[in-house]
Chains A and B, each alone.
Chain A
Amino acid sequence: VSLSPQLCALMFSWIRASELTFELPDNAKQCFYEDIIIGTKCTLEFQVVTGGHYDVDCRLEDPDGTVLYKEMKKQYDSFTFTASRNGTFKFCFSNEFSTFTHKTVYFDFQVGDDPPLFPNENRVTALTQMESACVSIHEALKSVIDYQTHFRLREAQGRSRAEDLNTRVAFWSIGEAFILLVVSISQVLLLRSFFSDKKTTTTRVGS
């Protein structure tokens, strides 16, 4: 079986989906690189999971250094592009605007389409009805999984806020009780000190 050069090139293109969640410390920048072949459709999706105001700067550059996508302080975005040339594409997440909050960032970088189930088969014959039904169910389930992921991230965000609130309320309650007692006792002591053992300063009471 002879395979055309184009088919070979298509099979050898790096068809990948990378999704990672990493922590971005304050004042830090993290860059990722990927070698992409011309004509591949790619999608970059990112979401800030925890930290500060849940925003991050994102920047996507092509091998020439041309900026394809640049957004500041975004919480969530999705960007699709087609590789205009061969080479290393670079995308960076920056938390340099933040002084002390570190952020957790999730991103999903999809390069090309999914690899076929049978890589060593020629797609010469059309799909049967059952097979095309399977393909559409597969696509639908993929989008369900994608929604689930985004929902999970938003829920993680909400939950981390709630847990923060809970600990803050606990510490604040204890702290305020303490401050209250200290202030009331010191008020009394201070007032007592105004009247203590200075019989010549009784006039001070009147003024």
Chain B
Amino acid sequence: YGLMLLFAWLSPSQALYFHIGETEKKCFIEEIPDETMVIGTYKTQLWDKQTGSFLPSTPGLGMHVEIKDPDAKVIILSRQYGSDGRFTFTSHTPGEHQICLHSNSTKMALFAGGKLRVHLDIQVGEHTNNYPEIAAKDKLTELQLRVRQLLDQVEQIQKEQNYQRYREERFRMTSESTNQRVLWWSIAQTFILIITGIWQMRHLKSFFEAKKLV
């Protein structure tokens, strides 16, 4: 069982990966309701020109993780992590949160190959729950654990529905504002047009009268 637990622990680091350049900043967007937990795990590997492959791990290589809330002003998290890291945050306002990663290239020489492989895994909401751990902690039977999982899922659905209502309200306000603006602009434009027409005619008439042409 020890070996299995070891593999269970290792698996988060063998997730989806992509390549990132030296000064490149990669951002991911998570649109989430409020009070939702987000856990991100990443692992970086550096390209080794000698062996022609990626090194399993490189100490001294770090990633700077920056998380912004929907207002794009408040930075929830802005920290440096090592080459393997795990970051967590809970949203307080619903909306688009931005998670940005870039490497802290203090060791420029290491980037001679130019490629850095980043494994990234971001889990949101009920996916953050570790059910075997919960079962062990609360001593739940399998049925109780399954029901707990269903409860968590339903809670996530409810939160998303609430968020959906909030978003729909914003959408409706935007549409109504556009409607109002188009209405007022049409009236204003007609008004301006008539006024400038009248002004033009009167001005030219008085001008021609002064020039004794009319």
A173 contacts B181, CB within 8 Å?
A: yes
Selected contact of B16 from candidates A34, A120, A163, A195, CB within 8 Å: A34
Q: Which of B62-70, B74-82, B102-110, B203-211 faces chain A?
A: B203-211
A119 contacts B132, CB within 8 Å?
A: yes
Selected contact of A18 from candidates B16, B131, B178, CB within 8 Å: B16
Total contacting residues, chain A, CB less than 8 A: 60
Q: Which of A51-59, A68-76, A78-86, A164-172 faces chain B?
A: A164-172
B23 within 8 A of A: no
Total contacting residues, chain B, CB less than 8 A: 64
Smallest beta-carbon distance A115→chain B, Å: 9
Closest to B125 in A: A145
Selected contact of A31 from candidates B18, B30, B143, B177, CB within 8 Å: B18
Selected contact of B181 from candidates A17, A19, A158, A166, CB within 8 Å: A166
B88 within 8 A of A: no
Selected contact of B29 from candidates A23, A130, A170, CB within 8 Å: A23
Bound form: Cα–Cα A117–B141 in Å: 11
Q: Chain A residues in contact with chain B, CB under 8 A?
A: 11-12, 14-23, 30-35, 104, 109, 117-120, 128, 130-131, 134-135, 137-138, 141-142, 144-145, 148, 151-152, 155-156, 158-159, 162-163, 165-166, 169-170, 173, 176-177, 180-181, 184, 187-188, 191-192, 195, 205
In the A-B complex, the 5 residue pairs with the smallest Cβ-Cβ separation, listed nearest first, are: A134-B146, A173-B185, A184-B196, A21-B29, A18-B16
Q: Chain B residues in contact with chain A, CB under 8 A?
A: 1, 4, 7-8, 11, 14-19, 26-31, 120-122, 127, 131-132, 135, 142-143, 145-147, 149-150, 153-154, 156-157, 160-161, 163-164, 167-168, 170-171, 174-175, 177-178, 181-182, 185, 188-189, 192-193, 196-197, 199-200, 203-204, 207-208, 211, 213
